[in-house]
Every structure is written in C-alpha cells, then in structure tokens.
Amino acid sequence: MAEFTMELSDEQKEVRDWLHGFAADVIRPAAAEWDEREETPWPVIQEAAKVGIYSLDFYAQQYFDATGLGIPMAMEELFWGDAGIALSIVGTGLAAVGVLANGTEEQIGTWIPQMYGDANDVKVAAFCSSEPDAGSDVASMRTRAVYDEAKDEWVLNGTKTWATNGGIANVHVVVAVVDPELGSKGHASFIVPPNTPGLSQGQKFKKHGIRASHTAEVVLDGVRVPGSCLLGGKEKLDARLARAREKAKKGGERVKNAAMATFEASRPAVGAMAVGTARAAYEVALEYAQTREQFGRPIIDNQGVAFQLADMRTSIDAARLLVWRASWMAINGKPFTAAEGSMSKLFASETAKKVTAQAVQILGGNGYTREYPVERMHRDSAIYTIFEGTSEIQRLVIARTLAGMPIR
C-alpha cells in the first residue's frame, strides 16, 4: 500500500508536464472553434492518439498508479485545456472501463482495441446507461435484454440518453435489464459491435457547455447481439442472478443499488475534471487582475478583487486535496466510510461553478464575451454538478453513509 503524499514523484511530474504541454499547445488553441462548431474534434483526438494520450495503455498506466494520483492528475491537466475537447478524448474510457471491469480476457482483447482504433483511423466508444426515466434512479431502467436460446443471441430494446459518443461510436456498451424483479441487481452489460442493425442515434443534444463532446440518445430496436457479447458470459450472469434471488428471498429486504456504490469509487475523477476547469478560470482571472488597470492601479490592488482571488485559490486547493484523498483511498482499498468519493465530487464541482462565475465577474464585461475563455469555462462548469450524480445525489449518498443507511 502506497503512503498518502501530496508530493508527486519525478515520473509523475514528467507525465503532468507532458499533459500540460499538450493541453496548452493542442487543446487550448482549438477550444473556441470546436465549442462553436458543436462537433466532435476528430483532428485533436487524432493528435492525442499520435502522442499516446488517446489509448488504453496510457489510461491503464494512470489507473493502476499505486498512489492513486495518476487519473486525477491526468484529468486535471486535460480539462485545464478545455472541458469539451478533454471529454471527447477521455469519453471512450468510460466504455473501456466497463469492459475491463466486467469482461472476460477474450472480450477485453477483442473489443477495447476496436474502441480506440489507431492514430491513422481513430475510433470512439460509448457507454450507454442513463435513460429518459432512469438517470440518478438506475433501478428504474427499462431497456430490456431477452435471451434467445435457440440462436444464442440477446435481443435488446429500449432508449438510452445522455450517451457520450452515442450513435457515432464504433462500439457501444449497453446496460440493460435481464431480470426486472431484481432491480439494479438484475442488470447486465452488453457489447453492441460496429454496424449492428437496429441501433441508431436518436436526438443529438445541443448543450449549454462541453459542446465539443458529442452527447446523444441511442435507440435500440430489436438489436441482436451474439451470446459472446454479454460481458462476463452467461454462466457468470446466471450465478450472480441466482445469488441475488436467494439473498432477496432470505432477507426479505429491498435489493440494494449496487451501481450507486460503484459510482462512488469513480467520482473523484469527475472531481479532478472540475478542479482543472476551476484552475484554468482562476489563472485567467489572476493574470487579468494583475494587468487590468482602473483608477491608475491594477484591479488586484482592490480588496474586493484580491479577496475573491484568495477564496478561489483556497477552494481549488481544498477540492484537489479531497480528490487526491479519495483517489488514494480507492486504489488502496480503503472503505469510504464517510462517502469520501462523493465528498470530493460534490465540493470540486460546486467549486468549479463558483470559481468560474467569479472569474467572469472579475473580468467584467470582457468576461461576458467569447473573446475571453472564462465565459466558455463558466458554461462548461455547469455539467460537473449534474453528470455522474447531481450535487443533490452526492449529498444524499453522503448523508445516508453517515447515517449507516444503504445507498440505493
């Protein structure tokens, strides 16, 4: 077990500086253009693939960093560059992790390479879980998967929403209900291979922020996938369902929402994204306050501005420390006895919204225009209090954990 430290190793610093350079030289110059276009920034993703950032190998190296700081460090630097483009780069990782966590070795080896493609022909993948009536309440999921034993195929029907890369992905990972009576315990994940009939893109959302990231509905109409596309395999699924039925029968208790508990461990990464956006806005505001003169002196000499900057920096550093603590706990198997994962996501996401709003205020009229990036950062920051569990859900998880109640 790695000791908790606030000091990055020399190797980690090298990776951080490399990512920062890519964010500064490649992501930032393209940010305004792709925000306006509201399209997937394929050329930037390709550049990320060429240097090795858009790849499973890079993501895995950071994920298995023994200190737990690899992922939050990478997320902070990329999202410091631009949230929309960064999400386009890391969005495939959501689907890849779904396969890594639940798939067999054969499934991992078969499908993850097809999610990324290569530097000459980049691909993306989509993780499809949320539905129009099942966002925070994943137990209300309606998408069904029915096994056709005669053909050894699963038939999927339903509509997914808020899917990053939904419809444009080469590979879709779809969560569906296989046993409605078991609630979230009756869910399973499926690979939908490229060009599978019956899968189509529904509405593409025109968003307030992160507009360079493609978000859309995914419609599944009689989608048939081979039995080998059930992540983990049918034998493992049948055993898991049997255990869940037996437990529900014996205890007579409501089946707990396992997905909510799983999200708890992944939330620090979203917190790190928020820290990156907040830090970017703070740096723009600090530089502006040091150079913008009113009444014969820089505006940072005014206490009203200086105190805002002091609060902004304090909140950012506090958010980062919460993210790092939760990330270290997760990689070292420390139980989140006070929902530390949700704490980090809650505080960091609220910090991003507040800090970016303060940055707009410090820049005044200039901050309200698209000539300066804080306007875009402020729009982007709104997503952090919404996806991967709203701030209200984070508070609910924290409160229930403190009270010793099940997360569901």
CATH architecture for residues 125-251? Beta Barrel (2.40)
Strands 187-192 and 125-128: unpaired
Q: Is 95 helix (H, G, I), strand (E, B) or coil?
A: helix
Percent of the chain with pLDDT over 70: 95
The two domains 125-251 and 258-402 share their CATH topology (first three levels equal): no
Q: Spelled out in words, what is the top-level CATH class assigned to the domain 258-402?
A: mainly alpha
Amino acid identity of residue 380, one-letter, is D
Catalytic residue among 47, 77, 131, 388: 388
Condensed to tens digits (0 to 9), the pLDDT of residues 127-169 reads 999 998 876 666 688 999 999 999 999 999 999 999 999 999 9
Check if 388 is active-site: yes
User: To 10 degrees, what angle do helices 374-381 and 340-363 make?
Assistant: 150
pLDDT score of 382: 97
In the chain, what's the furthest Cα-to-Cα distance? 82
Phi and psi at residue 338, to the nearest 5°: -125, 25
Q: What are the structural domain ranges in the chain? A: 10-122, 125-251, 258-402
pLDDT score of 405: 84
CATH for 10-122 is 1.10.540.10
Condensed to tens digits (0 to 9), the pLDDT of residues 8-50 reads 999 999 999 999 999 999 999 999 999 999 999 999 999 999 9
Q: Please list the rounded mean pLDDT of every run of 10 residues in the chain (408 residues).
A: 83 96 98 97 97 92 91 97 97 90 93 94 95 74 95 97 96 95 89 97 97 97 97 93 83 47 72 98 98 94 97 98 95 90 97 98 96 98 93 93 81
For 326-378, the DSSP string reads HHHHHHTT---TT-HHHHHHHHHHHHHHHHHHHHHHHHTTGGGSTTSTHHHHH
pLDDT score of 264: 59
Token reading at 125: 């993948």
pTM: 0.92
The alpha carbons of the chain give a radius of gyration, in whole angstroms, of: 22
